[in-house]
Chains A and B, each alone.
Chain A
Amino acid sequence: MNKMTLAQLRAHIAALENPERKLAVLPFGVTEIDAVLPWGGLPMGGLHEIDMPPDDAGDGPALGFVAVLLGRLAVQQRRPVLWVSGRDDLYAPGLAGFGLAAEQLLMVRPGRGSEILAAMEEGTRCCGLAAVAGEVWTLDGIAVRRLQLAARESGSTVLVMTRGDGHGTALTRWRVGPAPSAPPIPEAVGEWRWWLTLTHCRGRGTNDDGVVARWLVEWNDETHRLRLAAVSGDRSAVPEDRRRAAG
């Protein structure tokens, strides 16, 4: 009896805390990842943060991950996506390789950094867009909350690439790092591989490493899908800390 009430209470609180449970979902198509996310995929109509390294030299994996998500959202909803950035060097043919076609991408390049968040918010409120992505240096709590509210109202997905600290307001927070590829022949570079780390996810606690989960994923150029890569016997593919732990 006591247990039942507790379970009911938990469910009730979860429903109060997580109105996003009812949100539409974009499944990754990777069973292991979808199983960890309480929504069964990436929820649309919310804000997601993507960690960027402090130096733009390592931006590639994070940009690729965002391009994958935007491309799938644009195809699914048959609407363009908006990319707000203060930089000028995004390369359309590279994005097209991740399924984000140039016709589906609308770029906005504000001259001042403070205008990026405003443009993103306006884009989020626009009903003609599938998703809004933006590159910002730092986020303040108010801006995040405003974006989150706008996203919930309009149902469009907001992806914020930030080099600053995270906020609890976002539904999920990801870190995408480079991983050595496993080419079939030595004179080549294999399929793109990333270490995909879920560092924060509403409704899920973190493990001892301070992350929710971590996967080695690979982009398949033929199927245009992400898939889990097997960590091979090649010890160079194992990150530094694990190698040390293994001795």
Chain B
Amino acid sequence: MLTVNRAAYLGGLRPGGTVADAQALIPDLQLARADPEADLALLEYLADSCLCYTPWSAVDDWTEGKQGGGLWLDITGCAHLQDGEDSLLRDLVSRCGRHGLVARAAVADTPGAAWAWTRFGDSGSPCLPVGADRRILAALPLAALRLLPSTVEGLNRLGLKSIGDLEALPRAGLAARFGPAVAVRLDQMRGRQDEPISPQRPPERHQTHLRFAEPIARSEDIAAAVHQMLASLCQELGRQRLGVRRLQLVAFRLDATRQRLGIGTSQPNRDPRHLFRLLVESLAALDAGFGIDMLRLSATNVAPLQTEQAAFAAVSQGGEGEQNGQSLGHLCDSLGNRLGFDRIYRFALRQSHLPERLVRRLPPFPASSAPGGESAPEGRRPLRLFIRPEAVEAVAPLPDAPPLLFRWRRRIHRVAHAEGPERLSAEWWREGGLDRDYYCVEDVAGCRFWLYREGAYGGETIPRWFLHGIFP
């Protein structure tokens, strides 16, 4: 048995016992298979939700001690936001209680001391008294040092029971017999060796939390909460002259799961009304479950946005129509969030001879600054350019002549007029490709096509004909 709950403990069961013994003591004992991954996921959820106390929260992943999982919170400089350490701890424990967890928490000067005090200290005074900590810690058992059980057992056999006993001994002998871990743990507890707490993921610089006294589930309540958070976030961003590019909303649900919603904008924005409109569309996908305990809104991607720019952008895009319609930027944001931002684009020309490489796609913003950077090609160009040129069978009277007739998609087109060739060479600095001779041909019905012949007659390969696009 890895662990037992309170009722089982009172019934006389202890972690580490065998199941057979336990069932002899309590016949209707409920057993559950250990699931370390689920345990870790729960701890990560808690660590994430503790970001409302401090940006530095992490999962305690030291599991060799068989002491159960834990969380680290570095509350340096944060406790006063919760009216002091005592109040913070009470709040933390009651939060865990909401999820049906029994938690113990303690505050101390070093991570090592806090670990020891949480597990072996006096739960009546969770904050280790400053000044008296040296004497109090010395009285704790050796297991409080985060040592392997075998090491603790070995030390116990030598008659060393408490941390104080250990500190009285010379270091060199301990290290020789039990390895460097003992000295390291002692130093970590006493603060002689640094032990930084590193969060799983660096906290966002621009984020805001909203915690609820009672879990909320109604969509109106959620919308109101989001509205409130957006207002404060945008105010903060306004002070720093930043605008949002990506926004993430995390809902911490009562069943210890998180749901994330994200929106993006096509250009930096800090208009709470606009961002709210974007968020509301995805709020419909939010499943409150048994209720939402806390919401966190973070700007995961920000970009500079000057005040003047914000006003100018509104004028140049919204124009007079703030009342009778949304502006272009708002349209791009709303479509982008629904369809995906890669599905909204502008065309831009670049320097290339190959028709399919000539055009590239750009996001709608920023709108192109200098038009005509690259000029359009001289010759006639089709309106549709097939992504994959379609092979056709063509009959040409002479090697360098346009075809007389060709078959495309099982239909024969007789050529009435043809123009060309326009030779477009493969780019030598790229891999492969043969020269192409392009012809604009018109069939007797008046349909016009862009055909090309790849390769030349008399070369290594037989030339092939393709249909690349259709003309108006």
Beta-carbon contact of A92 and B347 below 8 Å: yes
B side interface size, CB within 8 A: 63
- List residues of chain B with CB within 8 A of the CB of A211: none
A35 at the interface (CB under 8 A from B): no
Beta-carbon contact of B368 and A60 below 8 Å: no
Beta-carbon contact of A67 and B383 below 8 Å: yes
Nearest chain B CB to A116's CB is how many angstroms away? 10
Beta-carbon contact of B331 and A122 below 8 Å: yes
Which of B346, B385, B416, B444 makes the CB contact (< 8 A) with A102? B346
Q: Which of A80-115 contact B (CB under 8 A)?
A: 80, 88-98, 101-103, 105-111, 115
- List residues of chain B with CB within 8 A of the CB of A125: 325-326
A side interface size, CB within 8 A: 60
What secondary structure prevails in chain B residues at the interface with A? mixed
- The number of inter-chain residue pairs (CB within 8 angstroms) is 187
Give A65 to B472 CA distance when docked, in angstroms. 8
Beta-carbon contact of B346 and A189 below 8 Å: no
Beta-carbon contact of B442 and A181 below 8 Å: yes
Q: Which of A178-200 contact B (CB under 8 A)?
A: 178-181, 183, 186-190, 192-194
Beta-carbon contact of B347 and A105 below 8 Å: yes
B10 at the interface (CB under 8 A from A): no
Beta-carbon contact of B472 and A183 below 8 Å: no
B330 at the interface (CB under 8 A from A): yes
Give A61 to B349 CA distance when docked, in angstroms. 24
Q: Which of B356-408 contact A (CB under 8 A)?
A: 358-359, 361, 364, 367-368, 371, 376-377, 380-387, 408
Nearest chain A CB to B347's CB is how many angstroms away? 4
Give A189 to B444 CA distance when docked, in angstroms. 12
A39 at the interface (CB under 8 A from B): no
B430 at the interface (CB under 8 A from A): no
Beta-carbon contact of A103 and B368 below 8 Å: yes
- Given A126-B326, A186-B417, do A180 and B442 touch, yes or no (CB 8 Å)? yes
Give A28 to B466 CA distance when docked, in angstroms. 36
- Given A111-B343, A127-B324, do A58 and B368 touch, yes or no (CB 8 Å)? no
Give A129 to B384 CA distance when docked, in angstroms. 23
Beta-carbon contact of A129 and B472 below 8 Å: no
Nearest chain A CB to B289's CB is how many angstroms away? 29
Beta-carbon contact of A103 and B384 below 8 Å: no
Beta-carbon contact of B339 and A188 below 8 Å: no
Beta-carbon contact of A60 and B470 below 8 Å: yes
Beta-carbon contact of B359 and A92 below 8 Å: yes
Give A69 to B409 CA distance when docked, in angstroms. 30
B471 at the interface (CB under 8 A from A): yes
Beta-carbon contact of A59 and B346 below 8 Å: no
Pull 19 A–B residue pairs with CB atoms less than 8 Å apart, ordered by A.
Answer: A63-B383, A89-B385, A91-B469, A92-B349, A93-B358, A93-B381, A96-B381, A103-B368, A107-B347, A109-B344, A115-B338, A126-B328, A126-B331, A127-B327, A128-B317, A178-B446, A181-B417, A186-B417, A193-B446
Binding site for B on A (CB under 8 A): 55-61, 63-65, 67, 80, 88-98, 101-103, 105-111, 115, 119, 122-123, 125-129, 153-154, 177-181, 183, 186-190, 192-194, 219, 236
